[in-house]
Amino acid sequence: MDSPLQVAVVSRSPAAAKRKRTGSRTTPPVARDFVAIADRFARDAIADVEQARNCHWIRLAASRYLKDRKRAAEKGGPFKFSLIHANDACDFIEKLPHVEGRWETDTIVLHPAIVFFVVQLFGFRNHDGTRRFTTALLSVARKNSKSLTAAVILLYCLCCEDEPGAQVISAATTGSQARIVFKAAKTMVEKTRDLREAFGLEPFANAIACWPAGANFRPINAKASTQDGLNPSHTCLDEIHAHKSADLLNVLKSAAGARLNALWLYTTTEGYEGTGPWPEIRKFAHQVLSGILNEADTDHFFALVFALDEQVGEPGKPGYREADGDFDESKWRKANPLMDVNPLLVREIRKLATEAKQMPSTHAEFKIKRLNRQSAGANTWLNIERWKRCNGPVDLKFLEGKDCWGGLDGAATTDIMAFRLVWRVDGIVYTWGWRWVPADAVAQRTERATVPYAGWVQAGLIKQLPGHIIDYAMVEEEIVELVNRFGPKVIGYDSWGIRDLVNRLNARLPERQMPDGKMKPLLEEFRQGPKSFHPAMQETERLYLAGNLRHGGDAVLNWCASNVIPRRDENMNMAPDRKKSADKIDDAVALFEAIGVMMNEAPKTTIYNEQGIYSA
């Protein structure tokens, strides 16, 4: 029987090891063409249009891979692809022994799904020769060799990445969890004399030393991570979903310093929703794969997510797709790619599925751990593909002097604040936004490398303000300038936390005259509930699905819109749910508020009330 990783031992010669340590890259003899295996995996996934064997996220990853191979081949492209590095990493791994169980081969034989992961991680290179990907995520159901995959990758990094004084770390909240990856790597070193001799490795109880490079590989838990002397070069956080906070990740990130070829490897199965870093990492991975963020901002991040497919959209609406059934055995492979080669895994999942049917208390655990599904399958509001089609240009000079409406939202003083305008011209709604973020938030997001705030600041998409909270005085001055330039008829706002700012703005800005001749402040509170938001969100949805919205491909708005998860009342009227949404939604909320006040300003005979969505 093949191994779960489809892990088989040809010794690596000391001469080959020396070539690696000196950086010489002569094509080594390899038993298999691993790049061809990865290419075939990608083509097969894309051809699986019905998503019978490959989930939505794997098909997107396959499309990204083939697209990136073309980008790498372009003259002057952002990175290159090295057949030698891709094949060499896989070849190294297939010379490592099994660590437990009985197998038909002595050493690891990589499954195509794992080949697809390793080829991309080490094949794509920056022009200086370092890896393109500094962060990588492998999310897959239990018993699909996540930890073993992490162990062999970290061993390759220790031996072959030529990082002076490398500190390779297996990190977790507890020592026992951190030792799972480390123990697998240590056992491989202990069982393979040729490996020890070729790379000068020596295993100890709590470390693997690589003497020629002055490097080491060790497990770290949350308590030990506070010690001095940490300077991680390659770090795996196994089962990242189990981290109850981002403290350990933040400590390790802060300690990493200026490593030229750093690697942050996250391996995990889904878990119950918590306050740790996993929801943010998962959401960012989905956004990267969906193409909702600019390529230049996400070229460092690599993700493979094996899971059953969730429902997309709503029945009867464009883009709707039904969710996979938990007990449909034909779908299990989507979350369990090693089912192809491991009959024991198939039998185990069948047994657990039978128990989950008979004992509802075990269903949630089966769904999360064996199908890699979220514990709370909240549906996002956005149809990403249709939204992306609305990225037509927005010409502010053309829009000056035309009627417009505004939205102002900032639920937290320590992160993003958004002001957005909308114009309706010949049936098309154009929108443009201005955002402010305190410098501390930019630094924190940059350190975690999951949201490209620093890139957005550099591109002029958001404005960085000094300090750790929003400076409302600076925001006030800019909004006054924008109002004087564009003259919005009314601005809707969320009063939470910004009442003083609103009062100052209304004191400085001209009032608006109502149809009855009365005067009202320019800024009008937009009540935060389904009664106000439902018509605005419904109209926004109608606009982008029909292709009648123009957002200019705004990366910040794209990100916020993709984070929106709606909550519904007993009548199914919706409003944004800030608690359930994976990350910031302020810019999207500002858009809803702007469209909402635009609708309320519309004459009673317009399309809004004719379609039953006018909010009086």
pLDDT tens digits, one per residue of 43-54: 999 999 999 999
pLDDT-derived band at 252 (thresholds 50, 70, 90) equals confident
Q: How confident is the model over 268-288, as a mean pLDDT?
A: 86
**So what's the pLDDT on residue 243?**
83
- Confidence check: pLDDT of 120 > 80: yes
Q: How confident is the model over 320-341, as a mean pLDDT?
A: 93
Q: How confident is the model over 192-205, as a mean pLDDT?
A: 96
- The number of CA neighbours under 13 Å toward the Cβ of 197 is 9
- Confidence check: pLDDT of 226 > 70: no
Q: Cα 613 from chain centroid?
A: 34
Higher pLDDT pick, 577 / 114:
114
Check if the beta carbon of residue 217 is closer than 8 Å to that of residue 158: yes
Regarding beta strands 549-550 and 428-438, do their DSSP bridges make them parallel or antiparallel, or are they unpaired? parallel
pLDDT-derived band at 402 (thresholds 50, 70, 90) equals very high
The CA-atom distances, in angstroms, between 253 and each of 236, 526, 527 are 12, 40, 40
**So what's the pLDDT on residue 523?**
92
**So what's the pLDDT on residue 561?**
92
d(CA 191, CA 186): 9
Residue recorded with tokens 């070829």: 261
Phi-psi category of 102—alpha, beta or left, where left has phi over 0 and alpha has psi -120 to 50?
beta
Burial tier of 70 (Cβ tally within 10 Å: 0-12, 13-18, 19+): exposed
Q: What is the pLDDT of residues 456-514, one digit of tens each?
A: 998 999 999 998 888 999 999 999 999 999 999 999 998 777 888 999 999 999 988 88
Nearest CA-CA partner of 190 in 177, 208, 206: 208
**So what's the pLDDT on residue 228?**
57
**So what's the pLDDT on residue 233?**
94
Residue 321 main-chain phi, psi, to 5 deg: -140, 130
pTM: 0.77
- Confidence check: pLDDT of 9 > 90: no
Name the least confident of 133-137, 269-273, 411-415.
411-415
Check if the beta carbon of residue 593 is closer than 8 Å to that of residue 568: no
Kindly report the average pLDDT of the chain as a whole number. 87
d(CA 129, CA 485): 49
Q: Cα 519 from chain centroid?
A: 47
Domain boundaries, the chain: 14-305, 384-610
pLDDT-derived band at 169 (thresholds 50, 70, 90) equals very high
| 384-610 CATH, one of 3.30.420.280, 3.40.309.10, 1.10.3720.10, 3.50.50.60 | 3.30.420.280
Q: How confident is the model over 273-280, as a mean pLDDT?
A: 79
Structure tokens at 426: 């010949």
pLDDT-derived band at 616 (thresholds 50, 70, 90) equals very low
Check if the beta carbon of residue 110 is closer than 8 Å to that of residue 7: yes
Same CATH topology for 14-305 and 384-610: the answer is no
**So what's the pLDDT on residue 380?**
74
Q: What is the pLDDT of residues 510-546, one digit of tens each?
A: 988 888 888 999 999 998 888 889 999 999 999 999 9
Superfamily designation of domain 14-305: P-loop containing nucleotide triphosphate hydrolases (3.40.50.300)
- Confidence check: pLDDT of 79 > 70: yes
- Confidence check: pLDDT of 319 > 90: no
d(CA 223, CA 356): 37
- Confidence check: pLDDT of 556 > 60: yes
Task: Report which residue type is found at 50.
Answer: E
Question: Percent of the chain scored above 70 by pLDDT?
Answer: 89
Regarding beta strands 491-493 and 404-409, do their DSSP bridges make them parallel or antiparallel, or are they unpaired? parallel
Residues pairing with 304 in the sheet: 138
**So what's the pLDDT on residue 557?**
95
The CA-atom distances, in angstroms, between 513 and each of 278, 519, 522, 532, 601 are 49, 5, 9, 22, 12
